[in-house]
Amino acid sequence: MIRFARTTALLSLLAIAPVGLAAQAASLPTWGIDVAHSEITFRIRHFMSRVSGTFTDWSGTIQADPNNWAGGSVTTTINVASIDTRNDRRDADLRSGRFFGVDSFPTITFVSTSVTQQGDSLTISGDLTMRGVTKPVVLKGEVLGVMPGERPRAGFEVTTTVNRLDYGVVYNRVLEGGGTMLGDDVEIRINVEALRQAAP
């Protein structure tokens, strides 16, 4: 009976822990991402070089104390059709079913599960959903600073690497001399300038 009671208590704590974390983040100041001063870029091997690109239409919300980001939350939504690699033909191919399949999967989303900070070092763990597949990712980087004022601003930059095959982006081509046209790993860099939102 004692063992059963302890197990029940443990399960209850595990059940309410996510709710408690969400409530903690909700009580923190809200920041909107200033996309005019922020960017999401990616890079992947293409033949013997690397091709980079960006998304021009995306948004996000941050709830955090800028003096200590720990315990905060980050959510981001990307309009995949806004992909831009400076080549219209390639961008159209990337939007097609061979790659992102924007007709069926128009957005990429990220929802944080934890945020930690040590000094200027920042770690954001969360769930990345792309092509209907959700996988955990860890973004690491640094806090770039806080600008006080009537509408405070704060900035950070984080990076991560994901394997595109994990998300069903599997198209490739074998080269005559060996190897493949595309790499599997995609490097992602997110640079954010956030603007404190007015209290409701």
Domain range annotation of the chain = 2-196
4: Cβ contacts below 8 Å, ≥ 6 apart: none
Report residue 165's pLDDT band, with 50, 70 and 90 as the boundaries: very high
pLDDT of 2 over the 50 cut: no
| CA–CA separation, 80 and 101 (whole Å) | 9
pLDDT greater at residue 40 or residue 21: 40
| CA–CA separation, 24 and 27 (whole Å) | 5
CATH code, 2-196: 2.40.128.110
Q: What does the pLDDT read at residue 177?
A: 78
Can you read off the two tokens belonging to residue 3?
A: 């063992």
Provide the residue type at 189 as one letter. Answer: R
Can you read off the two tokens belonging to residue 150?
A: 């009537």
Q: For the purposes of burial, counting CB atoms within 10 Å of the CB of 171, is it exposed (0-12), middle (13-18) or buried (19 or more)?
A: middle
Secondary structure of the chain: what % helix, strand, coil (to 5)? 20, 55, 25
Q: What does the pLDDT read at residue 200?
A: 61
Among 8-12, 48-52, 105-109, 160-164, the least confident range: 8-12
Stretch (H or E) spanning 191: strand 182-196
Provide the residue type at 3 as one letter. Answer: R
Q: What is the pLDDT of residues 91-131, one digit of tens each?
A: 999 999 999 999 999 999 999 999 999 999 999 999 999 99
